[in-house]
Amino acid sequence: MINRMNKIFSILSVAALLFSGGCGDGTESLSPSAPEPNYFEVDASDNSQEAQLRRSFRDDTGIYLIFSDLLATYTDEYGVQREERVDFNWGMTTSSSDNDPTFDVLEDSEKSNVTELIKRYFIPYINVEGGSMKPYSVLLVKNLEKRISSGRYMPADYVSCWRCFGINATDWIGADDDEAKSLGYSLLQSLIQDRLNYTSSELIPFFEISEEYYELEYISKAAPEWIDNQDMEIIYNLGFLDYYPDWMDDPAYDEFQNESNDFKSFLSGLFDPDFEETWKDYPQIMLKYNTLKKCIEDIGIDFNAVK
For the chain (length 307 residues), average pLDDT per consecutive 10?
A: 42 41 43 76 95 98 97 92 88 53 97 98 96 96 92 93 95 98 97 93 98 97 95 98 96 97 97 97 99 98 95
- What is the pLDDT at residue 29? 44
For 294, the enclosing helix (H) or strand (E) is helix 283-298
The DSSP call for residue 136 is S
What region does 173 belong to: left with phi over 0, alpha with psi -120 to 50, or beta?
beta
Give the whole-angstrom CA distance, residue 191 versus residue 124: 14
Vertex 230: Cα angle to 229 and 235 (nearest 5): 135
- What is the pLDDT at residue 89? 81
Supply the pTM of this predicted model: 0.83
Contact between 101 and 144 (Cβ < 8 Å) = yes
Instruction: Count the residues in the chain.
Output: 307
CB atoms inside a 10 Å sphere around CB 37: 11
Q: Collect all residues with Cβ–Cβ distance below 8 Å to 230 and sequence separation of at least 6.
A: 251, 254
Query: What Rg do the C-alpha atoms of the chain give, in angstroms?
Result: 27
- SS3 sequence of 226-283: HHHHCCHHHHHHCCCCCEECCCCCCHHHCEECCHHHHHHHHHHHHCCCCHHHHHCCCH
Which letter, b or e, does each residue of 44-76 get, where b requires 16 or more Cβ atoms within 10 Å of its Cβ? Answer: eeeeeebeebbbebbeebebbbbbebebeeeee
Give the whole-angstrom CA distance, residue 32 versus residue 17: 25
In the chain, domain spans: 49-195, 201-298
Contact between 222 and 255 (Cβ < 8 Å) = no
- What is the pLDDT at residue 100? 84
Contact between 239 and 284 (Cβ < 8 Å) = yes
Bridge partner residues of 116 (DSSP): none
The DSSP call for residue 39 is T
Phi, psi of 175, deg, nearest 5: -70, 145
